[in-house]
Amino acid sequence: MVPDRTAHNANVQDKPATAPRGRKPRLADRLRCQLEEEIATGQLAGGTRLDEAGLAKRFGVSRTPVREALSSLASAGLVETRPRQGAVVAGLSLSDLIQMFEVMAELEALCTRLAARRMTEAERTQLEQTLQACIDAADPARPNDYYDANLAFHEAIYAGSHNAYLAEQTRQLRNRLQPYRRTQLAGLGRIETSCREHAEIVDAIRQADAISAEGAMRRHVTIQADTFAELAAHSPEQRTAVDSA
């Protein structure tokens, strides 16, 4: 029988969540962020049942934000609905994740190559501002702050590609990988290294060097995959998170 982890206690009110700057995250966003982290770290393994009523009781909320959070996770491919079980955590093997990171590296590399060619001066300035925000948030004690700044950095590049279809496909895969990309920031020195990689990407885009920009982004995302794989190899919980398919 698949274990039902929904009865574990947690205080979602104190949990940071990704949201646009200047707007307080909705309760559903906080719930989604909490569940994402538990999926990535193995607290909620593949196949674990996610009961709306149980989650509502656990977090001390109504079922409405729980339903919204589960819907968001389902859209990202992290949760699936099964007959007679309802919502369950989708199972992904480590091999699946590595392959997804490989595709992500190519999608983001293409976005970056196009951005180096197509970004307006205003967009380049905005990208530099997102880089500065990453630098300001580069504190290992505040990984969620850095992750939010990191999302804004990558989003600026997607938009700068001026290819709406490519940007949408990239966002969809990014959302699927989001909890695992967040987890890899726990690697020793990873946040500081990520900032340096961002700076290399911005330098290439500022010089309109599309080939160098593309290569820098590809390396950046590939390193994320390598870091996560190393963390999974040394953490029984994280290996469970990706080997329960």
φ and ψ at 26, to 5 degrees?
-70, 160
Distance, in Å, from the CA atom of 24 to the CA atom of 162, rounded to the nearest integer, reads 29
pLDDT grade, residue 231 (50/70/90)?
A: low
Q: What is the pTM of this model?
A: 0.71
The DSSP call for residue 243 is S
Distance, in Å, from the CA atom of 241 to the CA atom of 42, rounded to the nearest integer, reads 4
Q: Which CATH architecture has domain 12-89?
A: Orthogonal Bundle (1.10)
φ and ψ at 172, to 5 degrees?
-60, -45
Average pLDDT estimate for 107-118: 99
- Given a contact cutoff of 8 angstroms between Cβ atoms, the answer to whether 29 and 17 are in contact is yes
Distance, in Å, from the CA atom of 13 to the CA atom of 31, rounded to the nearest integer, reads 9
The reported pLDDT for the residue numbered 230 is 74
pLDDT grade, residue 235 (50/70/90)?
A: low
CATH number of 94-242: 1.20.120.530
- % of the chain with per-residue pLDDT over 90: 56
- Given a contact cutoff of 8 angstroms between Cβ atoms, the answer to whether 245 and 49 are in contact is no
Distance, in Å, from the CA atom of 100 to the CA atom of 161, rounded to the nearest integer, reads 21
- Sequence-distant (6+) residues with CB within 8 A of 23 are none
- Given a contact cutoff of 8 angstroms between Cβ atoms, the answer to whether 181 and 121 are in contact is no
Distance, in Å, from the CA atom of 80 to the CA atom of 74, rounded to the nearest integer, reads 6
Residue 172, pLDDT > 50, answer: yes
- 145-166, pLDDT tens digit by residue? 998 999 999 999 999 999 999 9
pLDDT grade, residue 7 (50/70/90)?
A: very low
φ and ψ at 137, to 5 degrees?
-95, 5
Domain residue ranges in the chain: 12-89, 94-242
- Given a contact cutoff of 8 angstroms between Cβ atoms, the answer to whether 77 and 90 are in contact is yes
Q: Which of 19, 33, 23 is nearest to 78 (CA)?
A: 33
Query: Hey, which of 38-42, 47-51, 209-213 has the most confident mean pLDDT?
Result: 209-213
- 123-141, pLDDT tens digit by residue? 999 999 999 999 999 988 8
pLDDT grade, residue 183 (50/70/90)?
A: confident
- Given a contact cutoff of 8 angstroms between Cβ atoms, the answer to whether 37 and 182 are in contact is yes
Q: What is the DSSP string of 60-103?
A: TS-HHHHHHHHHHHHHTTSEEEETTTEEEEPP--HHHHHHHHHH
